[in-house]
Structure 1
């Protein structure tokens, strides 16, 4: 089976490509580095030659609802149009738990993506997952100022990107299934605590300050909107501390 991965060089995309190849399938990475511009739509048609399934894990770093909708709208429309022309029989999309209950900022684009996939002509499967463990160091990379780091107060149930990738490839090699059960981590965590544990594991002495993000999205984060509804999700098995031990090399 030939599986194309949109966003195959990102945090989860790399894991998806690795899993595809681990199982003996052929992968095609759809990124600018491979000559594909997902937003402009250039290079997609040629890259989909012989492709059976597309897994879309493309992403953008923004908290602007307008920019998020522009990105995910363009990428999803371009992929679906090219897939229909190329005869691709299955589109697998990754979304986020709570995107329909807190359609603000980045989540506004994910909501649009879900709508477009559901209304498209290509048979589809959609998986919603919670934040990745990798989200903690990503936040630190954006909000660290000298010896201090600001981390939004939020309730989360993060999961290893590797486990999300395994599920996505499992879904891609099966029949289109519509929206499937969500995937979440093994337990609820405070993102500030995860950030502190990541810093300790790396030998960093940065002080983490937890703060309430203003606005509707900030209230949703604190209220647990980003947690899976009871009984709606399958749970990953790797804990954050196990992920730290396997993935993070302490700095000396």
Structure 2
């Protein structure tokens, strides 16, 4: 199969491309650095020529709801329109576990993206993934202020990015089991994000002090406390635990 990957230079995109290539598929790695701008549509028709499937693992590059919504809406509509023109048979979209229950922020923008993808002319499949194990390192860096790092108080069920990439590849090639348009995937164990960040810092020998924070004005904080980001019935459980992943990533 010829499979185009939007966001192929990102963390998950690189893994997806590697898995597909190892399976003998022809991968078209789409990125702005490679001359394809999915938001403006520049280079998109050429990139999708002859493609059987598109895997969309794009990141908006912002957590602002309005900006992220505009990015995802434009990119997804362009992928759908160009995909239909090119004869693409399937669009596979990476989304986030519990995204349909959030009122604001980046996750609400992803929910809009899902709706646009599923309403388009090319049949779409959505994989909602829990936060990645790599999310701990990102938050440790984002919240760092000198010797302290402020990390959001959050219950998650993290999954390895490589496991998510394999699931996306299965959906792209038609080998993954999916009863409906949306599949959910998470790791084997519930974690506290603050604890994950602290354990990661300890493994690295980083003396940073990790402190929990939460936004009092966040309209979705009760959802997060209540476990909206945890696996529910029917969620696919995949990959190593965070502790097992640390053993290989450290």
TM-score range, shorter chain: over 0.9
Structure 1 partner of 2:230: 227
1:103-142 deviation digits (Å, cap 9, x = unpaired): 4200121111111111111012111111101111111221
Greater mean deviation of Cα atoms: 181-190 or 238-247 = 238-247
- 2:38 and 2:79 in contact (8 A); partners too: yes
Deviation at 1:247, TM superposition (A): 2.1
- 1:89 and 1:123 in contact (8 A); partners too: yes
1:102 equivalenced with 2:102 (yes/no): yes
- 2:12 and 2:165 in contact (8 A); partners too: yes
1:60-96 deviation digits (Å, cap 9, x = unpaired): 2322110110111011011111101111111001111
Structure 2 partner of 1:133: 133
Deviation at 1:175, TM superposition (A): 7.5
1:216 equivalenced with 2:219 (yes/no): yes
What is the TM-score of this pair, normalised by structure 2? Answer: 0.94
Structure 2 partner of 1:37: 37
Greater mean deviation of Cα atoms: 183-192 or 94-103 = 94-103
Other structure's SS at 1:225 match: coil
- 1:213 and 1:219 in contact (8 A); partners too: no
Other structure's SS at 1:181 match: strand
- 1:6 and 1:55 in contact (8 A); partners too: yes
Gaps of 5+ in 1: none
| Distance in 2 of aligned mates of 1:213 and 1:226 | 17
1:65 equivalenced with 2:33 (yes/no): no
Instruction: Classify 1:175/1:18 alpha carbon distance in 2 versus 1 (closer, same or farther; 3 Å).
Output: closer
Structure 2 partner of 1:17: 17
1:81 equivalenced with 2:81 (yes/no): yes
Gaps of 5+ in 2: none
The number of residue pairs the alignment matches comes to: 247
What is the TM-score of this pair, normalised by structure 1? Answer: 0.94
| Distance in 1 of aligned mates of 2:174 and 2:149 | 43
1:244 equivalenced with 2:223 (yes/no): no
Deviation at 1:40, TM superposition (A): 1.2
RMSD (CA atoms): 1.5
Other structure's SS at 1:127 match: strand
Deviation at 1:22, TM superposition (A): 1.2
